[in-house]
Amino acid sequence: MPKIKVAPKDGELTEDIGSYFLDPRTTAAYVIDAFSIGDQFNYQMAGNALHRDLKAIKSGDLSRLEEMLYSQAAALNMMFARLSEIAIRQQGLPQFESHMRFALKAQKQSKANLQTLIQLKQPSTSTFVKQANIANVHQQINNLENFSNRPNELLEVHDGKRLDIGTQGAPKRINSKMETMGEVDGRQNSGRKSKV
């Protein structure tokens, strides 16, 4: 595979050339050129086509993406059918298994492309959420903090009386006739009457 050579222009820095080679369009065009299916197609044509398509995508036209996803799904489906046919003709189990594994991988990728296409055409409602509004949560926390820092009105004195009725008074005896229970020995006082 031939290497791409870029002759620096007057005043062009090597960083600019490095950025050119790291540009996703450059690397994609190089790979497309390496795997191209025709002799007339080259690296420069791939780069120009990518530039045009990316410009359309940035403006909101996703028709090329839709075409690509469906075309790839159809091609992968054909690969699945052909590999399945080849697998059936195999005499040995390892060859059958190998071809069927690749056939099912192609089928799985075809399905993934179709699911992506469906999601592109009919996005879920969660896709439309651009920003989560969490300001209310912070507001509630601030209100809680403000609430916990406020003095309790029940503890304040109003008109010489304290509103808190839960203040502790002097301990009183409620039933002086009742006395503390003595020790209980569980072995002697088991509650059962033994038969003698």
d(CA 142, CA 149): 11
What's the average model confidence in pLDDT over 128-154?
56
Averaged pLDDT, 170-187: 66
pLDDT at position 177 is 67
Rounded mean pLDDT of 70-74? 93
Q: H-helix or E-strand containing 162?
A: strand 161-162
* Per-residue pLDDT at 45: 84
The segment with the largest mean pLDDT, out of 60-74, 95-109, 127-141, is 95-109
* pLDDT for residue 149: 57
Residue 73 binned pLDDT confidence (cut-offs 50, 70, 90): very high
- In angstroms, the Cα distances linking 125 to 14, 63, 132, 143 are 46, 21, 14, 32
Q: What is the mean pLDDT of the chain?
A: 75
| Average pLDDT rounded to a whole number, residues 51-64 | 90
Higher-confidence position of 147 and 82: 82
Q: What is the pLDDT of residues 11-55, one digit of tens each?
A: 555 566 667 667 777 788 878 888 877 777 777 888 888 889 889
Q: What is the gyration radius of the CA atoms in the chain, in angstroms? A: 41
For the chain, first and last CA: distance in Å? Answer: 109
Distance CA 150, CA 141 (A): 14
Torsion of CA 109, 115, 121, 126, to 10 degrees: -130
